[in-house]
């Protein structure tokens, strides 16, 4: 609308305004600003930005080994981010995902412990049971946050954080206490027998099964959110809780369901971290994927396919930055700086766009 009006009398300022109000160009500007900011941060610490970006890029993509590691880490991040689509759509901040991943992993390992020493159980069935246990554990943990919000009036951000801390406590208690391997207490449990590992590509950490589950998760979520009546109802609840309630949608039930769906993805993430990657239960198994997933989700604006792409970029940054410590003696937290400032500048540009659009509307009316 605006661009049409301004086309009639082109001048430099309207070209500039168009740049700021167009979604694609404003996203591009946000990326450039985030890169400029990151360069400044790197210069403060007296390092060469180009060298830093080179190390990050080659750390993520220089060899097939590096790429498989990126893909391996993409699996938990994309599952976490996809799960968060459900809560974001319902207008909820599931900051408790980190704990849901941990509890999922704990439940999954609990099942494995039952069958670890039995030689009769078929590995395929045990692995399926493990996944189910993870999903159930994660969704129950998420449901608790939802119930605290719904019946206790506790904001989901604080309820979620509380349950994250509780999950941490449970994890620490188990791996240093009853579940510690005989003799040592190093923050992880006994390793799974090889028969219970999800098959990996020989010589790498990547399991095609895990990758397949992640891709399947993206597809299913896209279908549920975009193509079903159920997805539409969750969206209605998120957009306007009060009017959906008046329209006859049981809003609190949909809120709880979206928490549970999110928790299922979190729990699966935790179970996969055990069966496909670590092969033990250990502290820090959630790996910050829940927290990072929230950033991915904010950028992706509830688009499952976009989520998958952004998750890939983010995890490549994280994996690539891990090499900074070895090559340049820099702290690997730089990846967090890049990810955070990127989201921040996208929010800034979105704000600028809103302000300009509103002003133009006002000018036309007045």
Partner 1 sequence: MDSSLISSIGSIFAWAAPVIFGVLGETITERSGVMNLSLNGSLILSAMVGFVAATTTNSFLIGFLAAAAVGSLIALLIAFMSIDLKQSQIAVGYVLAMATKSLAYFLGAPYVGAHVMLLPTVPIPLLSQIPFIGPILFKQTILTYLSYVAIVVCYIWIFKTHQGLILTGIGERPSAAYIRGANVNRLRYIYTGIGGAMVGVGGALYSLSVKTWNGTLSGFDGIGWIILAITIFGGWHPIKGALGSYLFVVFQYVGIILQPLMPNVNSRVFQVAPFPLMILALLFVNIGNADWVERTLAGLPENVRRTISKVLRAMRTSPPAALGVPFENE
Q: Which residues bind partner 1 (CB under 8 A)?
A: 41, 44-45, 93, 95, 148, 150-155, 157-159, 161-163, 165-166, 168-169, 172-173, 176-177, 185, 291, 294-295, 298, 330-331, 333-337, 339-341, 343-344, 347-348, 350-352, 354-355
Q: Specify the residue, 17 or 131, whose C-beta has the smaller distance to partner 1.
A: 17
- Find the shortest distance in angstroms from Cβ 75 to partner 1: 21
Report the 10 Å Cβ neighbour count for 286.
27
Q: Specify the residue, 167 or 276, whose C-beta has the smaller distance to partner 1.
A: 167
Residue with tokens 């994309």: 78
Query: Following CA atoms 152, 158, 164, 165 in sequence, which dihedral angle do they give, to the nearest 10 degrees?
Result: -100
Residue with tokens 């080994």: 65
Which of 264, 239, 219 lies closest to 107 in space, CA to CA?
264
- Find the shortest distance in angstroms from Cβ 307 to partner 1: 16
Q: How far apart are CA 188 and CA 181, in angstroms?
A: 8
Which of 80, 131, 124 lies closest to 109 in space, CA to CA?
131
Q: Specify the residue, 152 or 248, whose C-beta has the smaller distance to partner 1.
A: 152
Residues 6+ apart with CB under 8 A from 137: 103, 104, 106, 107, 108, 267, 270
Q: How far apart are CA 112 and CA 129, in angstroms?
A: 9
- Find the shortest distance in angstroms from Cβ 334 to partner 1: 5
- Find the shortest distance in angstroms from Cβ 268 to partner 1: 24
Q: What are phi and psi of 160, to 5 degrees?
A: -60, -45
Q: Specify the residue, 43 or 124, whose C-beta has the smaller distance to partner 1.
A: 43
- Find the shortest distance in angstroms from Cβ 62 to partner 1: 22
- Find the shortest distance in angstroms from Cβ 68 to partner 1: 26
- Find the shortest distance in angstroms from Cβ 314 to partner 1: 12
Q: How far apart are CA 21 and CA 354, in angstroms?
A: 8
- Find the shortest distance in angstroms from Cβ 121 to partner 1: 31
Q: How far apart are CA 81 and CA 62, in angstroms?
A: 26
- Find the shortest distance in angstroms from Cβ 7 to partner 1: 27
Contact 201, 207 (CB under 8 A): yes
Q: How far apart are CA 355 and CA 334, in angstroms?
A: 31
CA angle 205–184–275, rounded 5-degree value: 25
Pair of tokens at residue 15: 């070209």
Q: How far apart are CA 221 and CA 206, in angstroms?
A: 23
Q: Specify the residue, 198 or 311, whose C-beta has the smaller distance to partner 1.
A: 311
Which of 39, 38, 190 lies closest to 113 in space, CA to CA?
190
Distance of CA 168 to CAs 51, 162, 204, 268, 284, Å? 38, 10, 29, 18, 8
Q: Specify the residue, 305 or 355, whose C-beta has the smaller distance to partner 1.
A: 355
Q: Specify the residue, 6 or 155, whose C-beta has the smaller distance to partner 1.
A: 155
- Find the shortest distance in angstroms from Cβ 257 to partner 1: 18
Q: Angle, nearest 10°, between helix axes 12-21 and 23-44?
A: 80
Q: Specify the residue, 15 or 165, whose C-beta has the smaller distance to partner 1.
A: 165
Q: Specify the residue, 16 or 151, whose C-beta has the smaller distance to partner 1.
A: 151
Q: Specify the residue, 85 or 131, whose C-beta has the smaller distance to partner 1.
A: 85
């Amino acid at each position: 609308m605006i661009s049409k009006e301004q086309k009639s009398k082109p001048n430099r300022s309207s070209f500039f305004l168009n740049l700021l109000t167009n979604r694609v160009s404003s996203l591009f500007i946000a990326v450039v600003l985030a890169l400029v900011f990151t360069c400044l941060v790197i210069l403060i610490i007296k390092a060469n930005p180009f060298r830093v970006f080179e190390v990050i890029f080659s750390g993520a993509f220089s060899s097939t080994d590096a790429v498989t590691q990126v893909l391996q880490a993409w699996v938990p991040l994309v599952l976490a981010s996809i799960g968060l689509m459900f809560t974001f759509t319902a207008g909820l901040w599931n900051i408790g995902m980190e704990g849901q991943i941990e509890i999922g992993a704990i439940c999954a390992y609990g099942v494995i412990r039952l069958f670890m020493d039995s030689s009769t159980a078929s590995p395929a069935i045990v692995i399926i049971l493990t996944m189910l246990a993870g999903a159930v554990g994660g969704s129950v943990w998420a449901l608790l946050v939802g119930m605290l919000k719904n019946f206790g009036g506790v904001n989901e951000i604080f309820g979620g954080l509380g349950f994250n801390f509780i999950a941490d406590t449970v994890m620490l208690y188990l791996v240093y206490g009853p579940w510690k391997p005989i003799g040592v207490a190093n923050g992880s449990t006994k390793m799974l027998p090889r028969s219970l590992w999800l098959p990996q590509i020989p010589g790498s950490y990547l399991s095609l099964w895990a990758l397949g589950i992640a891709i399947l998760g993206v597809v299913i979520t896209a279908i549920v959110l975009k193509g079903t009546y159920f997805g539409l109802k969750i969206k209605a609840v998120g957009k306007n809780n009060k009017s959906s309630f008046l329209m006859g949608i049981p809003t609190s039930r949909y809120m709880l369901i979206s928490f549970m769906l999110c928790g299922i993805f979190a729990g699966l993430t935790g179970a996969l971290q055990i069966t496909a990657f670590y092969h033990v239960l250990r502290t820090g198994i959630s790996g910050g994927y829940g927290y990072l997933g929230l950033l991915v989700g904010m950028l992706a604006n509830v688009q499952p396919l976009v989520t998958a792409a952004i998750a890939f970029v983010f995890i490549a940054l994280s994996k690539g930055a891990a090499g900074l410590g070895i090559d340049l003696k820099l702290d690997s937290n730089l990846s967090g700086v890049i990810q955070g400032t990127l989201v921040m500048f996208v929010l800034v540009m979105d704000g600028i766009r809103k302000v300009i659009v509103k002003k133009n509307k006002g000018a036309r009316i007045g």
